[in-house]
Amino acid sequence: MNIKNICVTLVAFIGLTNANAQYNPLKIPDTLSGTVFNLTVRDTFKQFLPGNQTITAGVNGDFWGPTLIFNQGDTVHINLQSELNDSTTMHWHGMHLPAVMDGGPHQVIPPGTLWQPYWKIDNKATTFWYHPHLHHHTEEQLSLGAGGMIIVRDAEEAALPLPRTYGVDDLPLALTSRKFDAFNAIDYTSSHYGDTMLVNGTLNPQVTLPKQFVRLRILNAEMERGYNLGFSDNRTFWVIGNDGGLLNAPVALTRVPIMVGERVEILVDLGADAIGSNVNLMAYNAGHPLGFPGAEPGTTGPFGSLLNNRNFNILNIVVGATTTGAITSLPATLVTNIYPTAADATLTRNLLVTDGTPGTAFRFDNTDFDLDNINHHVVKGTTEMWTVKNNNIFGHSFHIHDVQFKIVSRSSGAIAAYESGWKDSYYLKIGETVSFVAKFEDYADPLHPFMYHCHFAPHEDGGMMGQFTVEDPSQVPTIGSKGATFTLYPNPASTRLFFSFDDPSAKAYYVTVSNAIGRTLLMLPRPELKNGIDISNFPPGMYVVQLIDEKTKGTVTRKFVKE
Ligand code: C2O
Ligand code: CU
Ligand code: CU
């Protein structure tokens, strides 16, 4: 028996003698921080279950990627290399950024391509996430595990006495369920609801948390299932933040619902728990009315699941020793938010959920989603009210890109304190009309739209999506106008390729580089070209550079030879 086998035997023995042997240690995703983020998304595999490995898609790993830590005020540069066999996109859910960097269904990244978006972080401290958004394929790629969380930090949050030691008293929890077939493959076609709960990609997870206040950053990363969260002993916890930032003050609750795409930050007090005791974070999903996703009674069929209409365990928490610097009291107040009100809106848009009868997919306003059709044109600088009316066949999770909004009315009654903060997604129940107000402050771009959609992956993939551009009426490109002319040098080139514009004030809106057979290698939204672009890894050959000019949006192509 070699050393490795002895260790394996020892681990197995300890595992068997552990009273909680049915649990797996919760995976805490690694963090990436700084201003340059290297992400590779690829087809890979993971040993989820005994027997066959499971084919997955991972970002820098096997299922569910690293947590990206951004600081407000920084400009972050992402190097997203796709090694998937299919095209993909990568969307920064909830973030305020130019549409061309947003990673929606228009920013398609072909296999083998490097996409380099960058933007200045101006969101408030909170929890976001990133995930593929390829039209018709979001459910497939997200089911396989491509995605991860984002934590934004800012000075206001940093000054508050809140838990913020990542992985110790401040934990990301990505909630999602999966169905595995007889060969251990992830089955995302026979049902939109999984049979087995996963947290951060861990089956039956357990975590030891210190005897003090702990902060859980909870994301519903499901395809469709909603969660009604609570603790097994019905203890009170406090919601401190919504999708887009901290609330004005903690909100005490024993249950909180969270729909697909939404995030909720909660504080839980473990200070009175005995060391070694257990409490479970639970889904109280039994007994909800029709329209609550996952309330369906069936265990089979397209909306069947072993977890449907049941209360089930999400995470087993074991109480451990108090840490130094522990947070032991609840802050009375958090931040001072200034929210827009209904009276601030100078324009109202009405959206209607339509279709969705048996055999038809849900849509908005009886209109098929079409990548080439802009459904709404928003004028930059406008504060708008969007009113979304359900057609009462099912519930939905309404999400909009670009902005954080404030819910100003729910036809079913008052707006609960737990969702009184900045939101980018919300639960649109059966029977409801919900209005929110948002200001579309900047990032005008007549070419690239932002999306709004139901975040239930099957609804989104099925076409329950629309798009809007933010436009600046003083900067309308003349359709058909010529792009900026330029020369590439040196040509042939070996390491860096430089651009010389005939008009020195010209700027690039988008540059793509493809090889002689048309395969895209580089996608550069609004590149800074002054230092040239790195072509040192390109194989020798002929390449085509396509440049869309910022001012006119005209396209010019040039060829170069890599030696
Ligand atoms: Cu979470 Cu349109 O995205
Ligand atoms: Cu989004
Ligand atoms: Cu929906």
416 CA to middle of ligand 2, Å? 23
130 CA to middle of ligand 2, Å? 8
Residues 171 and 103 in one domain: yes
Cα maximum dimension of the chain: 76
- Does any domain span residue 476? no
Residues 227 and 296 in one domain: yes
Residues 505 and 466 in one domain: no
106, 33, 113, 132: which is closest to 76 by C-alpha? 33
* Cβ(91) – ligand 1 distance below 6 Å: yes
Query: What ligand 1 atom has the least distance to the C-alpha of 401?
Result: 2
pTM to 2 decimals?
Answer: 0.95
- Does any domain span residue 388? yes
Residues 353 and 280 in one domain: no
What backbone torsions phi and psi does residue 246 show, to the nearest 5 degrees?
A: -70, 150
Q: Residue 96 and residue 442: Cα distance in Å, rounded?
A: 9
Ligand nearest to the CA of 291: 3
Residue pair 38/77 in contact (Cβ under 8 Å)? The answer is no
The protein residue whose alpha carbon is closest to atom 1 in ligand 1 is 93
Q: Residue 325 and residue 303: Cα distance in Å, rounded?
A: 46
Please list, in sequence order, all residues whose beta carbon lies within 8 angstroms of the beta carbon of residue 281, skipping any fewer than 6 positions away. Answer: 173, 216, 229, 230, 231, 313, 314, 315, 317
Residues 457 and 514 in one domain: no
148 CA to middle of ligand 3, Å? 22
The protein residue whose alpha carbon is closest to atom 3 in ligand 1 is 93
DSSP single-letter state for residue 417: G
Take residue 379 and report the two structure tokens written for it: 């004028």
Distances (CA, A) of 81 to 41, 117, 165, 315, 377: 6, 11, 30, 33, 32
Burial 490-499 (b: 16+ CB within 10 A, else e): eeebeeebbb
Residues 66 and 156 in one domain: yes
- The reported pLDDT for the residue numbered 3 is 41
- Does any domain span residue 336? no
Query: What ligand 1 atom has the least distance to the C-alpha of 452?
Result: 2
Residues 460 and 500 in one domain: no
* Cβ(453) – ligand 1 distance below 6 Å: yes
Residue pair 450/468 in contact (Cβ under 8 Å)? The answer is yes
Per the structure, the complete domain to which residue 504 belongs is given by 486-562
- The reported pLDDT for the residue numbered 308 is 97
* Cβ(93) – ligand 1 distance below 6 Å: yes
Residues 212 and 361 in one domain: no
* Cβ(263) – ligand 1 distance below 6 Å: no
Residues 73 and 42 in one domain: yes
508 CA to middle of ligand 1, Å? 27
Ligand nearest to the CA of 244: 2
124, 143, 135: which is closest to 58 by C-alpha? 143
Residues 313 and 373 in one domain: no
* Cβ(459) – ligand 1 distance below 6 Å: no
* Cβ(401) – ligand 1 distance below 6 Å: yes
Residues 62 and 191 in one domain: yes
450 CA to middle of ligand 1, Å? 10
- Does any domain span residue 325? no
Q: Residue 397 and residue 260: Cα distance in Å, rounded?
A: 6
Domain CATH code at residue 441 = 2.60.40.420
263 CA to middle of ligand 2, Å? 12
Q: Specify the number of domains making up the chain.
A: 3
Residues 386 and 530 in one domain: no
Query: What ligand 1 atom has the least distance to the C-alpha of 425?
Result: 1
Q: Residue 184 and residue 256: Cα distance in Å, rounded?
A: 32
Domain CATH code at residue 557 = 2.60.40
Final residue belonging to a domain, choices 320, 353, 378:
320
- Does any domain span residue 334? no
At 452, the amino acid letter reads: Y
Final residue belonging to a domain, choices 268, 288, 320:
320
- Does any domain span residue 209? yes
Ligand nearest to the CA of 459: 3
Final residue belonging to a domain, choices 320, 354, 384:
320
53, 55, 204, 76: which is closest to 140 by C-alpha? 55
Distances (CA, A) of 92 to 58, 207, 450, 467, 481: 16, 28, 12, 16, 32
- The reported pLDDT for the residue numbered 475 is 82
- Does any domain span residue 196? yes
- The reported pLDDT for the residue numbered 477 is 74
- Does any domain span residue 332? no
* Cβ(106) – ligand 1 distance below 6 Å: no
What backbone torsions phi and psi does residue 457 show, to the nearest 5 degrees?
A: -55, -45
Ligand nearest to the CA of 363: 3
| Cβ atoms within 10 Å, residue 76 | 23
Take residue 320 and report the two structure tokens written for it: 């451990």
Burial 427-446 (b: 16+ CB within 10 A, else e): bbbbebbbbbbbbbeebbbb
| Cβ atoms within 10 Å, residue 518 | 8
Looking at the DSSP bridge assignments, the partners of residue 55 are 45
pLDDT (tens place) for every residue of the chain, 563 residues total? 344 444 433 433 333 334 445 899 999 999 999 999 999 999 999 999 999 999 999 999 999 999 999 999 999 999 999 999 999 999 999 999 999 999 999 999 999 999 999 999 999 999 999 999 999 999 999 999 999 999 999 999 999 999 999 999 999 999 999 999 999 999 999 999 999 999 999 999 999 999 999 999 999 999 999 999 999 999 999 999 999 999 999 999 999 999 999 999 999 999 999 999 999 999 999 999 999 999 999 999 999 999 999 999 999 999 999 999 999 999 999 999 999 999 999 999 999 999 999 999 999 999 999 999 999 999 999 999 999 999 999 999 999 999 999 999 999 999 999 999 999 999 999 999 999 999 999 999 999 999 999 999 999 999 999 999 999 998 877 777 788 999 999 999 999 999 999 999 999 999 999 999 999 999 999 999 999 999 999 999 999 999 999 988 999 999 999 99
